[in-house]
Amino acid sequence: MSTALASQMRNRRWSALSVGLLTVIALCASPVTASASSTDARVWIENYNSSLCMSLPGDVVVAGARIDQWECGIYPDQWWHLNLSDSHPGWFYIQPEQDDTLCATYVPGSDTNLTLQPCGINAANGNFNTQLWWETEDGELKTMQGWAMSVPGASKAHNVNINTWPYGPYPDQSWGLNA
């Protein structure tokens, strides 16, 4: 094979490889709107006041399960997916890694404990806004009604339920979304 022909074949391979690589990069960079059932980010959620993580007691992942705080570790019940809302840009659902049909749900205007409930139209009597969260610049996780994810009495104890409380300068309302 001539040197010119071999050089031309190498150039074609590099060109094909470059086109393939650029295609992959373009696909990864394209904007995609996630729904409540598609994965956006996998995180563990830590309360900075208590240094404990949002978890499901006993790794019980069923509708109605309560959400509490526990020592951060490599526990399956502490991995959550944040899934962007199609209808509310910037807002997201918090779903346990083990079941993407359930969402962390709160009762608007109430300090009732967070629980897992079916995502979407089945949430809190059909009000899916009881499952949407927004992260502020200071790390607070706010609700549509202006309340924030909290720990009653700013407790630093294990097995304390997580709830919502009116948004304010409270130490237990600061959370970290850690990958």
Of the chain, the end-to-end C-alpha distance in Å amounts to: 53
Do residue 3 and residue 77 come from a single domain? no
User: What is the pLDDT at residue 26?
Assistant: 32
Do residue 24 and residue 81 come from a single domain? no
The DSSP bridge partners found for residue 66 are 115
pTM for this predicted structure? 0.75
Asked if the structure places residue 80 within a domain, the reply is: yes
Question: pLDDT tens track of the chain, all 179 residues?
Answer: 555 444 444 443 434 333 333 333 332 332 223 333 344 679 999 999 999 999 999 999 999 999 999 999 989 999 999 999 888 899 999 999 999 999 999 988 889 999 999 987 655 455 657 999 999 998 999 998 999 999 999 999 999 999 999 999 999 999 999 98
Do residue 93 and residue 136 come from a single domain? yes
Do residue 24 and residue 52 come from a single domain? no
Do residue 23 and residue 56 come from a single domain? no
CA distances from 53 to 31, 58, 80, 90, 96 (A): 31, 14, 11, 23, 13
User: What is the pLDDT at residue 74?
Assistant: 85
Do residue 11 and residue 48 come from a single domain? no
Give me the CATH number covering residue 56: 2.80.10.50
Do residue 9 and residue 94 come from a single domain? no
DSSP helix/strand/coil, 72: coil
Dist. CA 133–CA 163, nearest whole Å: 13
User: What is the pLDDT at residue 128?
Assistant: 59
User: What is the pLDDT at residue 120?
Assistant: 79
Domain containing residue 167: 41-178
How many domains does the chain contain in total?
A: 2
User: What is the pLDDT at residue 121?
Assistant: 60
Indicate the helix (H) or strand (E) that contains 117: strand 115-118
CA distances from 10 to 5, 127, 143, 148 (A): 9, 60, 57, 59
CA distances from 81 to 6, 19, 47, 163, 172 (A): 50, 33, 17, 19, 22
Dist. CA 124–CA 140, nearest whole Å: 22
User: What is the pLDDT at residue 7?
Assistant: 47
Do residue 56 and residue 104 come from a single domain? yes
Asked if the structure places residue 35 within a domain, the reply is: no
DSSP H helices, the chain, are 3-29
